[in-house]
Amino acid sequence: MSFKVIKPGFLTTVQDYGRLTHGEQGLAQSGVMDEHAYAWGNYLLGNHYFDAALEITFGSVELEALDDMLICVCGADLDFKINHQAVDIWKSIQIQQGNRLSWHLPRHGIRAYLAVQGGFETQKLFNSRSVNLREHIGSKITQDEVLVCQASIDLLDRFIAPNYIPNYHQEVVLRLLPSYQYSEFSDDQKTLFFSQSYTISHANDRTGCRLKGVPIAIKKDKMISEGMSYGSVEIASDGLPIILLKDAPTIGGYSKIGTVFSLDLAQLAQQQSGAKVRFELMTIHQAQKERLAFNQFFGVGANSKSLKI
């Protein structure tokens, strides 16, 4: 089963749940930017939670199906069409050999996920199919490339209840755990951080998201480098936050005011520069409760021997 790439788009890469076990070797986590949309794509196809999908950023992509397949598109509305006909997303779709799948422009969110039953079968590197351009691991899809995937086995007809489809247009609230150097920031610094509405800058990619706003005055900017969790929020020398995302380096030496809850980062992954975000405090208890419910619903981490050291 496979697709042929007619138009590769701006930034289209194969991603899965990530390269989770290689921190000792300096390898980034990598993996999908929007875990929520990706999880639904695999779920609706009856896939394993870490089956690889295509992450399409902004669109301008066209693929030709070389076989009949069961697919699902979730995440951003990039004006998805099959043979020039608009098609609903967030549902399983049976496609035929010769069908042309295309994504045009971002209308709602910026990252769409093409999941296929059984997942994409690109080369696994260090236990994951996730491409990380910063680390020179894998590459963007290219014109005329053939993307191989598993053979579809079932004829499922599944869709998401409309009220579960996220609204990417609403103001993003990033709930923050008081982690790392949180207690070293003064009350005034915290008040400034939590009370303002930040703007996503142009410096926002799979590595990190730099925010614009009123700078926080900081005393010491550099500290001894330490391991950085997905979603940790560095306050750089200029007093502005950088949220570290999937392709971020494993260690770094700026003070971190906290860590954003992973499922809120899924919302952030759908925002363009210019969008507004603000932060709100969250307890570890609440974060673990919500994430555990997500894991259990989508089977994340279940029977996952391959994720263990």
Residues that bind other proteins (CB under 8 A): 20-27, 29, 125-126, 134-137, 177-180, 224-232, 249-252, 259, 261-262, 284-285, 287-288, 291-292, 295-296, 300-302, 307-309
Nearest approach in angstroms of CB 65 to other proteins is 32
- Which lies closer to other proteins via its Cβ, residue 83 or residue 306? 306
- Which lies closer to other proteins via its Cβ, residue 88 or residue 280? 280
How far apart are alpha carbons 164 and 92 in whole angstroms? 15
Reference 82, options 28, 94, 90, 295; nearest CA is 94
Nearest approach in angstroms of CB 294 to other proteins is 10
Nearest approach in angstroms of CB 137 to other proteins is 7
Reference 246, options 30, 4, 90, 100; nearest CA is 30
* First-residue to last-residue Cα distance in the chain: 32
Q: How many residues does the chain have?
A: 309
Nearest approach in angstroms of CB 308 to other proteins is 7
Contact 13, 56 (CB under 8 A): no
- Which lies closer to other proteins via its Cβ, residue 199 or residue 306? 306
Nearest approach in angstroms of CB 309 to other proteins is 6
Reference 78, options 61, 92, 65, 63; nearest CA is 61
Contact 75, 109 (CB under 8 A): yes
Return the bridge partners of 18, or none: none
- Which lies closer to other proteins via its Cβ, residue 112 or residue 233? 233
- Which lies closer to other proteins via its Cβ, residue 159 or residue 294? 294
